[in-house]
Protein backbone atom coordinates (compact mmCIF):
# COMPACT_ATOMS: atom_id res chain seq x y z
CA UNK A 1 0.00 0.00 0.00
CA UNK A 2 1.21 3.48 -0.83
CA UNK A 3 0.37 6.65 1.08
CA UNK A 4 0.10 10.03 -0.58
CA UNK A 5 1.04 13.01 1.56
CA UNK A 6 -0.02 16.49 0.47
CA UNK A 7 3.14 18.29 1.37
CA UNK A 8 4.78 21.71 1.59
CA UNK A 9 8.04 22.93 3.11
CA UNK A 10 7.83 24.59 6.52
CA UNK A 11 4.45 23.05 7.38
CA UNK A 12 2.92 20.41 9.62
CA UNK A 13 3.18 17.95 6.74
CA UNK A 14 6.88 17.57 7.62
CA UNK A 15 6.11 16.00 10.99
CA UNK A 16 3.87 13.46 9.28
CA UNK A 17 6.65 12.67 6.85
CA UNK A 18 9.02 11.94 9.74
CA UNK A 19 6.51 9.45 11.11
CA UNK A 20 6.13 7.79 7.70
CA UNK A 21 9.92 7.48 7.62
CA UNK A 22 10.08 6.11 11.17
CA UNK A 23 7.59 3.34 10.38
CA UNK A 24 9.17 2.58 6.99
CA UNK A 25 5.98 3.31 5.05
CA UNK A 26 5.83 3.53 1.30
CA UNK A 27 4.74 7.06 0.42
CA UNK A 28 4.68 9.69 -2.28
CA UNK A 29 4.82 13.43 -1.66
CA UNK A 30 2.23 15.55 -3.45
CA UNK A 31 3.72 19.05 -3.51
CA UNK A 32 1.14 21.78 -2.92
CA UNK A 33 1.25 25.52 -2.47
CA UNK A 34 0.49 27.20 0.83
CA UNK A 35 0.30 30.57 -0.89
CA UNK A 36 -3.21 31.66 -0.06
CA UNK A 37 -3.47 33.73 -3.23
CA UNK A 38 -2.92 30.66 -5.39
CA UNK A 39 -5.65 28.12 -6.14
CA UNK A 40 -5.65 24.57 -4.74
CA UNK A 41 -6.27 21.57 -6.96
CA UNK A 42 -9.80 20.21 -7.17
CA UNK A 43 -8.61 17.00 -5.53
CA UNK A 44 -7.01 18.86 -2.62
CA UNK A 45 -10.17 20.85 -1.89
CA UNK A 46 -12.26 17.71 -2.10
CA UNK A 47 -10.03 16.01 0.48
CA UNK A 48 -9.67 19.07 2.73
CA UNK A 49 -12.07 21.94 2.00
CA UNK A 50 -9.80 24.23 4.08
CA UNK A 51 -7.11 23.83 1.43
CA UNK A 52 -4.50 23.12 4.11
CA UNK A 53 -1.75 20.56 4.47
CA UNK A 54 -1.20 17.93 5.64
CA UNK A 55 -3.63 15.57 3.97
CA UNK A 56 -2.87 11.85 3.94
CA UNK A 57 -4.50 9.40 1.55
CA UNK A 58 -4.28 5.61 1.27
CA UNK A 59 -6.43 3.30 -0.82
CA UNK A 60 -9.85 4.91 -0.95
CA UNK A 61 -9.36 6.65 2.42
CA UNK A 62 -8.02 10.02 3.46
CA UNK A 63 -7.77 12.30 6.45
CA UNK A 64 -6.49 15.71 7.52
CA UNK A 65 -5.45 17.39 10.82
CA UNK A 66 -1.83 16.74 11.73
CA UNK A 67 -2.43 15.54 15.29
CA UNK A 68 -5.14 13.11 14.18
CA UNK A 69 -2.92 11.74 11.39
CA UNK A 70 -0.09 11.35 13.91
CA UNK A 71 -2.24 9.28 16.26
CA UNK A 72 -3.69 7.26 13.39
CA UNK A 73 -0.25 6.30 12.05
CA UNK A 74 1.19 5.49 15.49
CA UNK A 75 -1.70 3.15 16.20
CA UNK A 76 -1.48 1.54 12.78
CA UNK A 77 2.19 0.66 13.28
CA UNK A 78 2.35 -0.32 16.98
CA UNK A 79 5.56 -2.30 16.63
CA UNK A 80 7.47 0.96 16.14
CA UNK A 81 6.26 2.10 19.57
CA UNK A 82 5.75 5.75 18.65
CA UNK A 83 2.77 6.00 21.00
CA UNK A 84 1.76 4.32 24.25
CA UNK A 85 -0.88 1.61 23.87
CA UNK A 86 -4.45 2.84 24.19
CA UNK A 87 -4.89 1.17 27.60
CA UNK A 88 -1.57 2.29 29.11
CA UNK A 89 -1.19 4.99 31.78
CA UNK A 90 0.98 7.24 29.61
CA UNK A 91 -1.59 7.27 26.78
CA UNK A 92 -3.36 10.09 28.61
CA UNK A 93 -0.38 12.45 28.62
CA UNK A 94 0.43 11.49 25.00
CA UNK A 95 -3.05 12.53 23.84
CA UNK A 96 -3.11 15.58 26.11
CA UNK A 97 0.19 16.85 24.68
CA UNK A 98 -0.75 16.33 21.04
CA UNK A 99 -4.11 18.03 21.48
CA UNK A 100 -2.47 20.91 23.36
CA UNK A 101 0.06 21.29 20.56
CA UNK A 102 -2.67 21.33 17.92
CA UNK A 103 -5.20 23.49 19.72
CA UNK A 104 -3.07 25.90 21.76
CA UNK A 105 0.52 26.07 20.49
CA UNK A 106 -0.44 25.91 16.80
CA UNK A 107 -3.18 28.42 17.47
CA UNK A 108 -0.59 30.82 18.93
CA UNK A 109 1.49 30.45 15.75
CA UNK A 110 -1.60 31.09 13.65
CA UNK A 111 -2.22 34.41 15.40
CA UNK A 112 1.11 35.56 14.02
CA UNK A 113 1.18 33.76 10.65
CA UNK A 114 -2.52 34.14 9.77
CA UNK A 115 -3.65 37.29 11.67
CA UNK A 116 -6.52 37.86 9.23
CA UNK A 117 -8.25 34.79 10.70
CA UNK A 118 -8.37 36.47 14.09
CA UNK A 119 -9.02 40.11 13.29
CA UNK A 120 -11.80 42.07 11.72
CA UNK A 121 -9.92 44.17 9.20
CA UNK A 122 -6.30 45.02 8.48
CA UNK A 123 -6.12 47.58 11.28
CA UNK A 124 -6.38 44.86 13.92
CA UNK A 125 -3.89 42.41 12.44
CA UNK A 126 -0.82 43.80 14.24
CA UNK A 127 -2.63 43.41 17.53
CA UNK A 128 -3.42 39.75 16.74
CA UNK A 129 0.22 39.17 15.84
CA UNK A 130 1.52 40.76 19.04
CA UNK A 131 -0.91 38.65 21.02
CA UNK A 132 0.39 35.62 19.11
CA UNK A 133 3.95 36.36 20.21
CA UNK A 134 2.85 36.54 23.85
CA UNK A 135 0.67 33.48 23.47
CA UNK A 136 3.63 31.54 22.06
CA UNK A 137 5.61 32.39 25.22
CA UNK A 138 2.70 31.35 27.43
CA UNK A 139 2.04 28.02 25.72
CA UNK A 140 5.68 27.02 25.23
CA UNK A 141 6.36 27.81 28.89
CA UNK A 142 3.58 25.44 29.87
CA UNK A 143 5.05 22.71 27.66
CA UNK A 144 8.52 23.40 29.08
CA UNK A 145 7.25 23.05 32.64
CA UNK A 146 5.35 19.88 31.75
CA UNK A 147 8.58 18.32 30.46
CA UNK A 148 10.67 19.39 33.45
CA UNK A 149 13.69 17.11 33.78
CA UNK A 150 12.21 14.33 31.63
CA UNK A 151 14.30 12.94 28.78
CA UNK A 152 11.34 12.97 26.39
CA UNK A 153 7.77 14.31 26.55
CA UNK A 154 6.53 11.01 28.02
CA UNK A 155 9.55 10.37 30.24
CA UNK A 156 12.31 7.97 29.21
CA UNK A 157 10.57 6.79 26.07
CA UNK A 158 10.72 8.55 22.71
CA UNK A 159 7.32 9.05 21.02
CA UNK A 160 5.58 10.86 18.20
CA UNK A 161 4.87 13.68 20.68
CA UNK A 162 8.62 14.45 20.54
CA UNK A 163 8.50 14.54 16.74
CA UNK A 164 5.53 16.92 16.87
CA UNK A 165 7.37 19.09 19.40
CA UNK A 166 10.44 19.28 17.15
CA UNK A 167 8.34 20.23 14.14
CA UNK A 168 6.66 23.05 16.07
CA UNK A 169 10.01 24.43 17.28
CA UNK A 170 11.14 24.83 13.66
CA UNK A 171 8.39 27.41 13.22
CA UNK A 172 9.75 29.71 15.95
CA UNK A 173 11.11 32.90 14.41
CA UNK A 174 12.63 35.30 16.98
CA UNK A 175 13.22 37.86 14.23
CA UNK A 176 9.42 38.26 13.99
CA UNK A 177 9.09 38.93 17.72
CA UNK A 178 8.38 35.29 18.58
CA UNK A 179 10.37 33.66 21.37
CA UNK A 180 13.50 31.68 20.58
CA UNK A 181 13.49 27.99 21.39
CA UNK A 182 16.40 28.69 23.77
CA UNK A 183 13.90 30.40 26.12
CA UNK A 184 12.49 26.91 26.79
CA UNK A 185 15.49 24.76 27.75
CA UNK A 186 13.55 21.53 28.33
CA UNK A 187 11.81 21.84 24.97
CA UNK A 188 15.12 22.65 23.29
CA UNK A 189 16.81 19.61 24.82
CA UNK A 190 14.17 17.28 23.34
CA UNK A 191 14.11 19.07 19.98
CA UNK A 192 17.90 18.65 19.73
CA UNK A 193 17.53 14.92 20.38
CA UNK A 194 14.82 14.53 17.73
CA UNK A 195 16.95 16.45 15.23
CA UNK A 196 19.70 13.82 15.57
CA UNK A 197 17.43 11.05 14.28
CA UNK A 198 17.99 9.71 10.78
CA UNK A 199 14.34 10.28 9.83
CA UNK A 200 14.50 13.94 10.91
CA UNK A 201 17.76 14.54 9.07
CA UNK A 202 16.18 13.20 5.90
CA UNK A 203 13.10 15.43 6.21
CA UNK A 204 14.96 18.54 7.46
CA UNK A 205 18.31 18.45 5.57
CA UNK A 206 18.74 22.24 5.69
CA UNK A 207 17.29 23.06 9.09
CA UNK A 208 19.29 25.49 11.25
CA UNK A 209 18.17 26.31 14.76
CA UNK A 210 17.72 30.04 15.41
N1 LIG B 1 -5.19 22.28 12.26
C2 LIG B 1 -4.54 21.99 11.02
C3 LIG B 1 -3.83 23.24 10.55
C4 LIG B 1 -3.25 23.05 9.19
C5 LIG B 1 -2.60 24.32 8.66
O6 LIG B 1 -2.86 25.46 9.12
N7 LIG B 1 -1.74 24.12 7.66
C8 LIG B 1 -1.02 25.23 7.10
C9 LIG B 1 0.46 24.90 7.01
S10 LIG B 1 1.10 24.35 8.55
C11 LIG B 1 -1.53 25.51 5.69
O12 LIG B 1 -1.81 24.59 4.95
N13 LIG B 1 -1.64 26.81 5.36
C14 LIG B 1 -2.09 27.26 4.10
C15 LIG B 1 -3.40 28.00 4.17
O16 LIG B 1 -3.76 28.50 5.26
O17 LIG B 1 -4.07 28.11 3.16
C18 LIG B 1 -3.53 20.84 11.21
O19 LIG B 1 -2.93 20.77 12.28
O20 LIG B 1 -3.37 20.01 10.29
Does 20 sit in the ligand 1 pocket, CB within 6 Å? no
The structural domains of the chain, with segments of one domain joined by +, span 3-80, 91-197
Which atom of ligand 1 is found nearest the CA of 54?
Answer: 20
Does 51 sit in the ligand 1 pocket, CB within 6 Å? yes
Question: Candidates 7, 12, 167, 173: which one to mutate for ligand 1, based on the most atoms within 8 Å of Cβ?
Answer: 12
Question: Candidates 15, 32, 33, 52: which one to mutate for ligand 1, based on the most atoms within 8 Å of Cβ?
Answer: 52
Quick one: fold of 3-80?
Glutaredoxin (3.40.30)
Q: Please give the model's pTM, rounded to 2 decimal places.
A: 0.97
Q: What is the pLDDT of residue 148?
A: 98
Smallest CA-to-CA distance from 80 within 26, 17, 5, 160 is with 160
Average pLDDT over residues 87-95: 97
SS3 147: helix
Does 102 sit in the ligand 1 pocket, CB within 6 Å? yes
Question: How buried is 104 (Cβ within 10 angstroms: 0-12 exposed, 13-18 middle, 19+ buried)?
Answer: middle
The reply to whether 3-80 and 91-197 are identical in fold is no
Does 52 sit in the ligand 1 pocket, CB within 6 Å? yes
Question: How does pLDDT run across 105-116, given as a tens digit for each residue?
Answer: 999 999 999 999
CATH code linked to domain 91-197 = 1.20.1050.10
pLDDT at 153 over 90: yes
Which residues lie below 8 Å from residue 152, measured CB to CB, with a gap of 6+?
158, 159, 161, 162, 190, 193
Q: What is the pLDDT of residue 83?
A: 98
- Strands 3-7 and 55-58, sheet pairing: antiparallel
pLDDT category of residue 84 using cuts at 50, 70 and 90? very high
pLDDT at 122 over 90: no
- Interatomic CA distance for residues 111 and 116, integer angstroms: 8
Amino acid sequence: MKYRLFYAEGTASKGIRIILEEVGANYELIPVTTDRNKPRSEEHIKLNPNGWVPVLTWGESSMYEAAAITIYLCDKYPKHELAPASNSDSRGIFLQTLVYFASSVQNAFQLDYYPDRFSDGKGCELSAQRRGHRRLRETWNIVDQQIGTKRFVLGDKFSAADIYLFMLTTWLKPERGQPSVSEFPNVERIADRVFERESTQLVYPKYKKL
